[in-house]
Structures are given as structure tokens and as C-alpha cells.
Amino acid sequence: MTQLEYAKRGTLTPAMRAVARSEGVDPKRLLKEVAEGRAVIPSNRLRKKSRICGIGKGLRTKVNANIGTSADLSNLKAELNKLKAAVEYGADTVMDLSTGGDLKKIRRAMLGASPVPLGTVPIYEVAVMAEREKRRIPSITAEEMFAVLEGQAGEGVDFFTIHSGVTMDTVECLKKEGRVVDVVSRGGAILIEWMAHNGRENPFYEEFDRVLDLAKRYDITLSLGDGMRPGCLADATDRAQVQELIVLGELAKRAKEAGVQVMIEGPGHVPLNQIEANILLEKEVCQGAPFYVLGPLVTDIAPGYDHITSAIGGALAASYGADFICYVTPSEHLGLPSVADVKTGVVAARIAAHAADIAKGVKGALDWDISMSVARKKRDWQRQFKLAIDPVVARQYRKRSKPASKDVCTMCGQYCSMKISDKYLR
Amino acid sequence: MTQLEYAKRGTLTPAMRAVARSEGVDPKRLLKEVAEGRAVIPSNRLRKKSRICGIGKGLRTKVNANIGTSADLSNLKAELNKLKAAVEYGADTVMDLSTGGDLKKIRRAMLGASPVPLGTVPIYEVAVMAEREKRRIPSITAEEMFAVLEGQAGEGVDFFTIHSGVTMDTVECLKKEGRVVDVVSRGGAILIEWMAHNGRENPFYEEFDRVLDLAKRYDITLSLGDGMRPGCLADATDRAQVQELIVLGELAKRAKEAGVQVMIEGPGHVPLNQIEANILLEKEVCQGAPFYVLGPLVTDIAPGYDHITSAIGGALAASYGADFICYVTPSEHLGLPSVADVKTGVVAARIAAHAADIAKGVKGALDWDISMSVARKKRDWQRQFKLAIDPVVARQYRKRSKPASKDVCTMCGQYCSMKISDKYLR
């Protein structure tokens, strides 16, 4: 049985208890959210993990880090270092998006090394397989696609991004509308190529029951991908995006009915003032299914700083109810991230998630800030470093710039407002 | 006459025309906003500047960069490099907050070098003067304080932060309430020391007319400082902060009546879900006076990344109507910023300001994003770099990670969604 099926029957599982414990929430409350599809626990039944993670209503906002090779940069060791850095800096899940090198070997190494849930986008392996066999993507049969899913499921992958919402209808909707950057989802583009050539419906839509059957056998959580996500502000919240969301809402309902855990992927590039509506729309159309957002980036003009553009959008999205933030690194739009980029991306996304958790009133979220502020007021530097989201960087800044008086910093020196007000306000 | 006085009489000045031209807005509309105190043009009549800057309703959100020495780090050349970097990366104004070295020499060098409006916090010079003369701050007379203001005004400083809202009443309010970190405004703390020792009211409150007279003579824009701004999330939007804002609202009214341009400074550290209320409150209580926010930082736990915590808060604040964002650098809370920190701080704040301008519907704001997205879709890398908010960093990322195929990047390689969808959607 899946976590969802247990929850529907009112049975608390060890995974639910573990999540409730780590979040400090009532296990029965969590069970109810899982039962009603408002929270998921991505955990392939074949894979042991040291960190079980719940995503959804009433829980901390979670952060995912995308790692993995590309044809241009394929180094297993580097990717394992990224995995390590991501987990060390607090990523709650990772996704292996490799498209270069020995995909199975890379994935197995990551599954072996990852203490956190690991997700994939199986259509990438399908595309790489085609290329290696010198075939074109459209020649791949639906049978072969499902064989890839089955293979990855058997290896223990915890959640799959499946672009079932890329249908003849949604593609037609996009064509009619016209866009500035068309499709920016790799999985979406691959499926569109397949559909256009074959003149046939997306197998992951047409045979969605088969996807469900497979997911159910392993208790893989489905992350319904947004192949139509906007890739620039001008394309945001357009008919194609919303049309796909409606399809995803229908499919999410079918998944829940089938006992398969499901979440919904969302944009992308979205103007700041459209974020609230996007979250509300997903929550309504998909009956509260956890919302997994990539960003959103609130401007297109900052390549090299998209960890910041997405931290702005992610914080806002999560404060309005998004449950799961996919990090964006500074190298987004420019190249595959380095280990340092992964670290920066995770920290920026965690800042966004935490700021949102305070706004959402997540239990205990503000306590961290209060502890830090008490240490700051006392000018207790060691404790500030210990509490910092990135103690290494905080220490580096302090070390670089030594004050004459140890209890202050070089910005204000003896004019430290906290030191002065200590004397005259107490 | 001040810009405000001209505007009240319906006279369009060269400064108003220059601002209207650079913003692409109707000069008469701008004149109306200046006349009613919803926009200011900080420009000391004694100082020529190549970039006149308007701040307020209907205009682009502006970004300020704080630079200046401290007793621990006092190097004029370094500060001039910071000034250069700040302006090069797009700061609309700078503030010289020096408290170390020869303050007058530093300020004059900055005034000479800065093409943008320059602001100061004159009480810092008062405190440094006391220290140099081996006197205590409370021994400084009100006369001496005003002499410092007069001196800086005569040098051509364009705007002054004056903490007139730190009064016996607001300090009492803060004491009664209790706070986690008390006062985090340097100017506020210095004045509290003075008031506590002397048992006397803040001269900048008691003799506010004298402040106004001085500001009017030079057309210095007053930036009414928030000495009671919250220095941690737990202290946000508390009675002391709001009490001070009420005082600032009263003083802003007096300033406008006297023909003195005025803006209001705001927090600080504010939970994401309290930002909208803070902006609304300022706009109501201060009758639409431009709001100049420091951040706000949406969490306390990220020293080393406060350019990000403040970009989140700044974007949100500006989208709700804040007009002017003070940057925060990565070294905030840890030490005086380096030139690189200044650059990063300016870029992060500009991202926030621009994202907000799109949300606010500022004329032409989205055009930049559309141009970038068109270049991205075409995989025209040179144009992307040219349009990037930081072309240098964007190029560096691209250079570091070279794809086999020149028109894509190493993240997706041949699976570039935009390249694939070009073929199958057109």
C-alpha cells in the first residue's frame, strides 16, 4: 500500500510518524492532510532513506536541488560533490537530471549516496537512449518509455516528474496564442517533438492509468510537470499555462483516487504581482495538491543572479501557499552549476522558504530568528555563526574585517547602536 | 525657492524636466506629485550633478548605496572605488556614512566625484567631533549640532537623514514595550544617549523649524530617519515603531507646508506578511510622502546573504508602493562592505526595484525583460550579455562552461527546450 492508501484508511505509518516528529506537528493532522492529498511523503518503498520528508499543508516549505550531468559536462564525482553540498546546506530533496555519461551508473550512485528523497525526469533517459541508439526521439515507442520508468522505479527513485499535461490540446492552445519564448521545459519539448512527428497523443496522458499503476506499485510520488510553464514574464499566466493546469488538476484527482501521491509543478517566470493568483489557482484547480514551484523568477534580466530573482518569487509563492521550492542557481540560463553554485542556490532557496514559513506561521519558524537576534544583541559572535544559515560564509566576512573592539563589527565600530542603547535604555 | 515651492506655484523647473525626460513621464504629472509631496528631487542648489533623480509616485523605484569609512576601516581611495562601483552598477543615489578618518575631506571628495545625489547622516559627524575633542556626546550643544548641518549643507549635500522622530515619548514607548534588540539605528542611539544624559528633548525635534529653515535655504531634501526601526523580526511593527511614524507624519506635514522636500525612512527587519501593512501605514500616516526603506530583511538568520533577504523584502515593499530602496550588502551585520560587496548589494537591490516596477506597472519596465527574452529565445548570447543587469558576471558564467554547440548552454546541451520547440512549434 502507498502512504496515501494507508492514510485513507486512517493508518499512521512509520514514515508519517517520522515526518510529524521532525516537523513538530500532530501525526493525526498530518495523516488527514496526506489522506486528502494536501501533503505527500515521497518515498519509493524499495529505498531506505535517513531523512523522510513530507511536503504540503502545515509543513515546513521544502527545497529541492537539481543536480546531474549534461552531454557537455559529465563527471560523476562532481555530481556527487554537488549532492553532498546540497544536502549539507539543507536541501530537503534532490533531483538527478542527468543527460550525459552513464545515466544508470550516475543515478545509482546518487541513490546510494542520497540521505534525502531523490527524484528524476524519466523522459530525459528516454531521449538520451534514442540518441545513443542513433534513433530519433519520435521513433521511441510508448512501450520503451514505460520500460524506462519501470527501470528507474525499480532502482528506488522516490518521485518522478511526468509531463502528462503536454497534450494535443494544450500544445494547440500554445500555438494559437503565440509566445515570446514558447516552451522552456526540456521534458515538454521532447514530448512535443514526439507528438508532432507521430501525430499522436502524449503517452503519459493517453496511458495515464499505466503511469498510475507503476507509481502505485513502488509508492512513487508523481510530480506532474508543467511543460507549458512560462519561460519569461511576458508569457506568464497565459492560456497555455492555465489550460495545462486544468489538465493537471484532472489527472491529480485521478491519481489521488487511485491511491497515488501527487504534486503539481508550477512556474517559472512570473511577475511579482501575478504570484498570488498563480498559487490560488493551483490550490483551487488541483484541490490543494502540494505545489512545487521552479522559482518563480520575478524578472528575466538578471542572468548570473537568478538565485536572487527566484528567492524573491519563491518566498512570495511559498508565503501564499506553495509547498515546495525548486532552487535556482546563479548559473541558470548560462550553464550547468558548479558545486559552489549548488551551495549558493540551496542557501538562497532556504532563505526564501524560511521567510515564507515565518509568514505562514509554521510552528517554530520564528524561534530561529529570535535566537539569532538575541545573540546579535549580546554581540555573541560565536553563537551568531552557529545559528547562521551558512556559518562558513558568516565567519569569512567577520574574519576579513577585524574591529578594534571585539564585541562590535567594523561597520559601526564604537557607534554600534546595540551597544550604545544597552547603556541608555536599560 | 525649492523644487517643492516651484511645484506649488505650478512652475516646471529644469530639474523636473530632466527627471520627467529620464523617466518618460509627463512633466506636468511629475510637477503635481512634487507639489503634493508624493515625489521629491533631492538636489542641493549648490551642487551640480549630471544625474538628477526623482523619487516617488509614478517614478521608477530608486536604489541607494550606503558607503563610507568607519574608525576600523578608513581609506578614502577604497570609498571612492565603492562610489564608482555603486554608480557603475546603477545606484541612483549614494550616502556617505563615514565615521572614520577626515570626514570633511572624504565627504568633499565624494561630493566632487558623485554624479548622483549624495546624502549624509549629519549626527555621525557630531558624534565623531565629540570623540576627537575627547568630549562625550551629551556635552555637544544643539548649537554645535546645527553648525555641523550648516557645514554639510554648504558643501552641497543633497539629502540629510535627520532622526527627528526619536523623542522623549517614542523612547518611553520603546522602554515600556521592551524589545529583543532595542535600537539598531546608529543615529537613533546617539541621540538617545544625548537625551538620556541631558534629560532633554531631541534638538532635531524640538527645533524642527530650524532644521526646516536650513533645509529650505539649500533645498536639501529631508529624509526623516527611523531611529526606532525594528532590528529583528520579533520587534517589527511594534508600538515604538508606529509611534515614531506618527511623529514623522506630523513633521512631514510641517516640512511640506514650509516648502521643504521630505521623505520618510522605514524598516528594517520585517516578516514578509507584515510588509504590505507597513507600506500602507506609511502612505496613510505620512500623506503619501516617498517611503525610503532599508531592506526590509525578511529573516534574521542569514548573515552573509542579507543582500538576498533584503531583495525579497525590498521587492515586496516597492511593489506595494515603497519608492526608494536602500541596498543591503552581503557584509551587513558582519563588517564594512568591500567594493565587491557594494557591487553585489547594488545589483540585488536593483533586481528588487525592477521586479517591483514591473508589478507596479512603471512605464517601460517590462520592455527590458521582453528584449532579454527575445534574445534568449534566439540564443543570441552577445545580446543577452548586453542586456544583463551585470554583463560581466553573465559572461563569466558562460565562459566558464563552454557547450559543444555554440547556440545552447551546458545545462541542457542539445536538449535545449527553446531550440527543440523552435523546430516543432513553428
Count the Cβ atoms, other than its own, within 10 Å of residue B81.
15
- For A2-36, the pLDDT digits (tens) are 999 999 999 999 999 999 999 999 999 999 999 99
Write the residue in A298, A348, A397 that is nearest to B335 by C-beta. A397
- What pLDDT, on the 0 to 100 scale, is given for residue B305? 98
Number of residues assigned to chain A = 426
Lowest-pLDDT choice from A267-276, A285-294, A405-414, B254-263: A405-414
Closest alpha carbon to B293 in B284, B306, B316:
B316
Q: What is the per-residue pLDDT for A321? A: 98
Residue A426 has pLDDT above 90, yes or no: no
Contacts of A368 in chain B (CB under 8 A): 301
pLDDT value at residue B57: 97
Give residue A414's pLDDT: 87
| Average confidence (pLDDT) over A227-256 | 98
A332, A355, A412: residue with CB nearest B70: A412
Looking at residue A421, its pLDDT comes to 87
Mean pLDDT over A127-147 rounds to: 96
> Has residue A180 got a pLDDT over 80?
yes
The domain at A3-360 falls in which architecture?
Alpha-Beta Barrel (3.20)
| pLDDT number for residue B413 | 87
Q: How confident is the model at residue A423 (pLDDT cuts 50, 70, 90)?
A: confident
Please calculate the CA angle A72-A75-A79 and round it to the nearest 5 degrees: 110
Residue in A99, A192, A333 closest to B424 by CB: A192
Per-residue pLDDT of A334-379, as tens digits, reads 999 999 999 999 999 999 999 999 999 999 999 999 999 999 999 9
Judged by CB atoms closer than 8 Å, whether chains meet at A425 and B190 is answered as no
Residue A239, C-alpha cell as written in the block: 492560456
If you average pLDDT over residues B58-79, what whole number do you get?
95
pLDDT digits over A36-87, tens only? Answer: 999 999 999 999 988 999 999 999 999 999 999 998 899 999 999 999 999 9
Is residue B426's pLDDT more than 80? no
What is the mean pLDDT of the segment spanning A315-322? Answer: 98
Q: Write out the three cell numbers for A366.
A: 520564528
Taking CA–CA distances from B318, the nearest residue in chain A reads A272
Q: What is the mean pLDDT of residues A410-422?
A: 89
Average pLDDT taken over every residue of chain A: 96
Contact status, residue A260 vs residue A7, Cβ threshold 8 Å: no
3-state SS class at A40: strand
In chain A, what percentage of residues exceed pLDDT 70? 100
Q: What is the pLDDT of residue B218?
A: 98
d(CA A271, CA A296): 8
Express each pLDDT in B302-336 by its tens digit. 999 999 999 999 999 999 999 999 999 999 999 99
Q: Compare all CA atoms of chain B with the CA of A330 and give the residue at the minimum distance.
A: B397
What percentage of chain B carries pLDDT values higher than 70? 100
CA distance A272 to B358: 8
Give the pLDDT of residue A47. Answer: 95
How far is the C-alpha of B204 from the C-alpha of B417, rounded, in Å?
A: 61
The closest CB to that of A72, out of B189, B368, B413, belongs to B413
> Which of A379, A392, A402 is CA-nearest to residue B335?
A402
Q: Could you say which residues from 240 to 269 on chain B have a Cβ atom under 8 Å away from some Cβ of chain A?
A: none
Residue B354 has pLDDT above 90, yes or no: yes
Tell me the pLDDT band of B406, cut-offs 50, 70 and 90.
confident
A positions 123-162 inside 8 Å of B (CB): 124, 127, 131
Write b or e for each residue in A292-313: b if 16 or more Cβ atoms lie within 10 A of its Cβ, otherwise e: bbbbbbbbbbbbbbbbbbbbbb
Residue spans per domain, chain A = 3-360, 368-425
List of chain A residues whose C-beta atoms are within 8 Å of the C-beta of residue B366: 233-234, 271
pLDDT at A201: 98
Is residue A413 over pLDDT 90? no
Surface of A (328-367) touching B: CB under 8 A: 330-338, 347-348, 351-352, 354-356, 358-360, 366
Residue A369 to residue B234, Cβ atoms within 8 A: yes
Tell me how close the Cα of B317 comes to any Cα of chain A, in angstroms: 11
The whole-number average pLDDT for the span B240-263 is: 98
pLDDT value, residue B331: 97
Q: Which of B233, B404, B425 sits opposite A358 (nearest CB)?
A: B233
**Which residues on B lie below 8 Å from A351 (Cβ)?**
299, 302, 305, 308-309, 312
C-alpha to C-alpha distance for A125 and A107, rounded to whole angstroms: 11
Give Cα separations from A403 to A339, B81, B115, B359 (angstroms): 32, 21, 32, 41
Cα–Cα dist A121/A151, whole Å: 13
Report pLDDT for B2.
97
Interface residue B186 vs chain A (CB under 8 A): yes
CA distance B37 to B27: 15
What pLDDT is attached to residue B136? 93
Which of B66, B173, B270, B272 to substitute to test the interface with A, most A CBs within 10 Å? B272
Interface residue of A131, A235, A401, A411 to substitute, partner B, most B CBs within 10 Å: A411
pLDDT for residue A30 = 98
Does A113 contact chain B (CB < 8 Å)? no
Residues of A in contact with B390 (CB under 8 A): 302, 304-305
The interface residues of chain A toward chain B in range 190-219, judged by CB-CB distance below 8 A, are 190, 192-193, 196-197
* Cβ pair A163, A191 in contact under 8 A: yes
The whole-angstrom distance between A342's CA and the closest CA on chain B is: 13
Residue B424 has pLDDT above 90, yes or no: no
Q: Which residue has the cell 515570446?
A: A180
Residue type, position A212, single letter: L
β-sheet bridge partners, residue B255: none
**Interface contact A401-B232, CB threshold 8 A:** no
Residue B196 has pLDDT above 80, yes or no: yes
Taking CB atoms and an 8 Å limit, are B394 and A304 in contact across chains? yes
Q: Give pLDDT, residue B422.
A: 86
Q: What average pLDDT does the segment A138-160 reach? A: 98
Arithmetic mean of pLDDT, A158-175: 97
- Of A305, A295, A348, the closest CA to residue A325 belongs to A295
A304, A401, A415 ranked by CB distance to B388: nearest: A304
> How many angstroms separate the CA of residue B45 from the nearest CA in chain A?
31
Give bridge partners of residue B63 from the DSSP assignment.
Answer: B325
Closest CA to B195 of B173, B171, B176, B175: B171
Q: How far is CA B281 from the centre of its chain?
A: 19
B71 HSE (CA, 13 A, CB side): 17
- Residue of chain B with shortest Cα separation from A377: B181
How many inter-chain contacts (A to B, CB under 8 Å) are there?
378
Closest CA relative to residue B55, chosen from B338, B326, B381: B326
pLDDT score at A424: 86
Mutate to test the interface with A, among B421, B422, B423 (most CBs of A within 10 A): B421
Instruction: Check pLDDT > 80 for residue A143.
Output: yes
List the single residue in A with minimal CA-CA distance to B356. Answer: A272
Between chains, do A272 and B368 touch, taking CB under 8 Å as contact? no
pLDDT of residue A296: 98
pLDDT at A425: 84
Interface of A with B in 372-391 (CB under 8 A): 372-374, 376-377, 384, 387-390
Chain A CB contacts of B272 under 8 Å are 315-316, 319, 355-356, 358-359
Q: What is the DSSP letter of A405?
A: S
A300 touching chain B per CB within 8 A: yes
Q: Is B303 on the interface with A (CB under 8 A)?
A: yes
Classify A180 as helix, strand or coil: coil
The H-or-E segment that residue B265 falls in is: strand B262-266
Q: Tens of pLDDT along B152-187?
A: 999 999 999 999 999 999 999 999 999 999 999 999
pLDDT of residue A402: 87
pLDDT-based confidence at residue A289 (cuts at 50, 70, 90): very high
Across chain B, mean pLDDT equals: 96
Contacts of A401 in chain B (CB under 8 A): 72-73, 331, 334-336
**Inter-chain touch A272–B403, beta carbons under 8 Å:** no
Buried-exposed string A58-75: b where 16+ CB fall within 10 A, e elsewhere:
bbbbbbbbbbbbbbbbbe
The SS3 of residue B106 is helix
Q: What is the pLDDT of residue B402?
A: 87
Q: Does the distance separating the beta carbons of A387 and B356 come in below 8 Å?
A: no
Hey, is the C-beta of A78 within 8 angstroms of any chain B C-beta?
Answer: no
A386-404 residue pLDDT tens = 999 999 999 999 999 889 8
Predicted confidence (pLDDT) at residue B149 exceeds the cutoff of 90: yes
Q: How confident is the model at residue A288 (pLDDT cuts 50, 70, 90)?
A: very high
Q: Does B370 touch chain A (CB under 8 A)?
A: yes
CB spacing of A377 vs B334 below 8 angstroms: no
State the pTM of this model. 0.98
B95-148 tens-digit pLDDT: 999 999 999 999 999 999 999 999 999 999 999 999 999 999 999 999 999 999
Nearest to B304 among A330, A388, A413 (CB): A388
Residue B255's CB: how many other CB atoms inside 10 A? 26
Whether the predicted pLDDT of B361 surpasses 90? yes
> What is the pLDDT confidence band of residue B237, given thresholds at 50, 70 and 90?
very high
B280 near A CB under 8 A: no
